[in-house]
Amino acid sequence: MRLRLVRENTSIDFFSRGRIWLGLSAIAMVIAFASFLIQGLNFGIDFQGGTSIRTDSSQPVDIAEYRAVLDPLDLGDVSIVSVDDPLFDDDQYVTLVRVQAQDGDERIASETIEAIQSALRTIDPGMTFPSIESVGPKVSGELIQTAILAVALAVVAILLYIWLRFEWQFAVGAVLALTHDVILTIGIFSELQIKFDLAIIAALLTIVGYSINDTVIVFDRVRENLRKYKQKPLKEVLNISINETLSRTLMTSVTTMLALLALFILGGDVIRGFVFAMMWGVLIGTYSSIFVASAFLLVLGVKRDWSKKDPSAGTRYGHIDT
């Protein structure tokens, strides 16, 4: 017996309240954009600038212990990452301790560095500090620009891919859904003031890939059913296609969410922001592939036979009320 999250042959009308779903999405995007303009993002060290201190110890790394001895110094945003390398000796344990820029300075003061070193030596008196590097505001600004460019290029590449594989109406619907996902993800990070760093950019790119995968599955079934049901209205074909792929969509989302939930609970502070972004992205991506991308496709309309040229293609069903 196969596990199913929804019963077979569902007949849910996803577009009976299509305007309401699009309206709620539009309101959520406006709130997210307003939060971004008013509060901004809580940038991490990657985008804010700061100092990276490499530690070398003969004792196993306990990140919670490192953080406990540094918290009394009131350094602001501190990132502690354990570094593994097969070239290290068996008794060599390396970490990178990154501290945000203090009071707008490019690098933290020597007195602060000495205080950090003294605090960490309470864990291991023989700890050494092979390198100390600073990331200034200029480099951080370049990272922000590169991150924005990476997300934009990913969306453009997906637009071209969908356009070539399907039709321009499918491409526009998919990209609008992706834009919806990215804006709402940035908005939730702005609203909750969760640390935003390069790991979150990686999560955004992963969310884009996850969301478009769901959307392509639905669109592929739509294209098949447009050829199969030549006389049915586009709205009905879209409902049939989404219902047919609903079990697969929910199964993928739930299994992914279970894995992410385990990482969120057990993974620790280092990856918690990344995992939260992924969890939010799975929820929003599943919603947008069903309600946003398909709703825009219904508004734009599509042609029914790709083997014939039709000057009215793309507008034949544009008058249908969502």
* Every domain range in the chain assigned CATH 1.20.1640.10: 18-42+140-300
List 82's β-bridge partners, or say none: 95
CATH code linked to domain 18-42+140-300: 1.20.1640.10
In this predicted structure, what is the pLDDT of residue 105? 57
Give the DSSP H or E segment for 78.
Answer: strand 78-83
10-19, 105-114, 190-199: range with highest mean pLDDT: 190-199
Higher pLDDT, 211 or 305: 211
Q: How many angstroms separate the CA atoms of 53 and 238, rounded?
A: 55
Average pLDDT over residues 52-69: 86
Q: What is the CA radius of gyration of the chain?
A: 25
pLDDT at 286 over 90: no
Cα distances from 292 to residues 176, 186, 188, 231, 285, in angstroms, run 8, 18, 19, 24, 10
Architecture category of domain 50-135 in CATH: 2-Layer Sandwich (3.30)
Average pLDDT over residues 27-41: 89
Residue 258 pLDDT grade (very low, low, confident, very high; cuts 50, 70, 90)? very high
- Torsional class of 9: left (φ above 0), alpha (ψ -120 to 50), beta (otherwise): left
Q: pLDDT tens for residues 289-311?
A: 888 888 888 887 776 654 444 44
What value does the mean pLDDT of the chain take? Answer: 79
pLDDT at 31 over 90: yes
Q: In what order do the strands lie in the sheet with 128-135?
A: 78-83, 93-100, 50-57, 128-135
Structure tokens at 304: 């029914």
* Every domain range in the chain assigned CATH 3.30.70.2040: 50-135
pLDDT at 318 over 60: no
195 close to 45: Cβ distance less than 8 angstroms: no
Does pTM surpass 0.75?
Answer: no
Looking at residue 134, what DSSP letter applies? E
Residue 229 pLDDT grade (very low, low, confident, very high; cuts 50, 70, 90)? confident
Average pLDDT over residues 5-20: 73
Amino acid identity of residue 197, one-letter, is D
